[in-house]
Protein backbone atom coordinates (compact mmCIF):
# COMPACT_ATOMS: atom_id res chain seq x y z
CA UNK A 1 0.00 0.00 0.00
CA UNK A 2 1.44 3.30 -1.11
CA UNK A 3 1.66 6.28 1.15
CA UNK A 4 2.43 9.92 0.49
CA UNK A 5 4.36 12.09 2.93
CA UNK A 6 4.52 15.83 2.32
CA UNK A 7 7.92 17.49 2.67
CA UNK A 8 6.86 20.96 1.56
CA UNK A 9 3.75 23.03 1.01
CA UNK A 10 1.04 20.50 1.78
CA UNK A 11 -0.90 18.65 4.42
CA UNK A 12 -2.50 15.30 3.66
CA UNK A 13 -6.26 15.32 4.11
CA UNK A 14 -6.95 11.72 3.14
CA UNK A 15 -5.35 8.78 1.34
CA UNK A 16 -6.58 5.33 0.38
CA UNK A 17 -3.51 3.50 -0.95
CA UNK A 18 -3.62 4.68 -4.55
CA UNK A 19 -4.91 8.24 -4.30
CA UNK A 20 -4.34 11.05 -1.83
CA UNK A 21 -6.05 14.33 -1.11
CA UNK A 22 -3.94 17.19 0.09
CA UNK A 23 -4.48 20.80 1.03
CA UNK A 24 -2.05 23.50 -0.03
CA UNK A 25 -0.12 24.95 2.89
CA UNK A 26 1.87 28.17 2.71
CA UNK A 27 5.08 27.79 4.70
CA UNK A 28 5.55 31.54 4.92
CA UNK A 29 2.34 32.49 6.71
CA UNK A 30 0.91 29.07 7.64
CA UNK A 31 -2.31 29.47 5.65
CA UNK A 32 -3.89 26.14 4.66
CA UNK A 33 -6.39 25.95 1.81
CA UNK A 34 -9.88 24.72 2.63
CA UNK A 35 -10.31 22.85 -0.62
CA UNK A 36 -8.19 19.79 -1.33
CA UNK A 37 -6.60 18.35 -4.47
CA UNK A 38 -6.84 14.64 -5.24
CA UNK A 39 -3.94 13.04 -7.11
CA UNK A 40 -2.31 9.62 -7.46
CA UNK A 41 0.15 8.72 -4.74
CA UNK A 42 3.66 8.59 -6.25
CA UNK A 43 5.54 5.29 -6.30
CA UNK A 44 8.09 4.67 -3.58
CA UNK A 45 10.94 7.18 -3.81
CA UNK A 46 9.21 9.31 -6.41
CA UNK A 47 7.89 12.79 -5.81
CA UNK A 48 4.71 14.59 -6.65
CA UNK A 49 5.43 18.28 -7.16
CA UNK A 50 3.27 21.31 -7.80
CA UNK A 51 3.19 25.05 -7.15
CA UNK A 52 0.61 27.49 -5.92
CA UNK A 53 0.39 31.12 -4.96
CA UNK A 54 -0.82 31.77 -1.42
CA UNK A 55 -4.13 33.67 -1.42
CA UNK A 56 -3.22 35.35 1.84
CA UNK A 57 0.38 36.58 1.51
CA UNK A 58 1.15 36.02 -2.18
CA UNK A 59 4.04 33.66 -1.50
CA UNK A 60 4.87 31.31 -4.38
CA UNK A 61 4.93 27.98 -2.58
CA UNK A 62 6.31 24.71 -3.87
CA UNK A 63 4.41 21.50 -3.09
CA UNK A 64 6.40 18.30 -2.69
CA UNK A 65 5.01 14.93 -1.59
CA UNK A 66 7.21 11.83 -1.51
CA UNK A 67 5.86 8.33 -1.98
CA UNK A 68 6.69 5.52 0.44
ZN1 LIG B 1 1.02 32.71 2.75
Answer for the pair 40, 56: CB distance below 8 angstroms, yes or no: no
Answer for the pair 48, 22: CB distance below 8 angstroms, yes or no: no
Expressed in angstroms and rounded, the spacing between residue 48 Cα and the centre of ligand 1 is 21
Expressed in angstroms and rounded, the spacing between residue 52 Cα and the centre of ligand 1 is 10
Is the predicted pLDDT of residue 42 greater than 90, yes or no?
A: yes
Expressed in angstroms and rounded, the spacing between residue 61 Cα and the centre of ligand 1 is 8
Would you state the pLDDT for residue 1? 86
CA atoms of 31 and 2, how far apart (whole Å): 27
Tell me the domain boundaries of the chain: 4-67
Mean pLDDT of 44-57: 97
Is the predicted pLDDT of residue 68 greater than 90, yes or no?
A: yes
Expressed in angstroms and rounded, the spacing between residue 14 Cα and the centre of ligand 1 is 22
Expressed in angstroms and rounded, the spacing between residue 1 Cα and the centre of ligand 1 is 33
Is the predicted pLDDT of residue 57 greater than 90, yes or no?
A: yes
Q: What is the SS3 assignment for 68?
A: coil
Mean pLDDT of 17-34: 97
Mean pLDDT of 4-11: 98
CA atoms of 35 and 22, how far apart (whole Å): 9
Amino acid sequence: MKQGTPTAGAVIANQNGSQMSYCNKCEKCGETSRSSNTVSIPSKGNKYTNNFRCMKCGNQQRVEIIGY
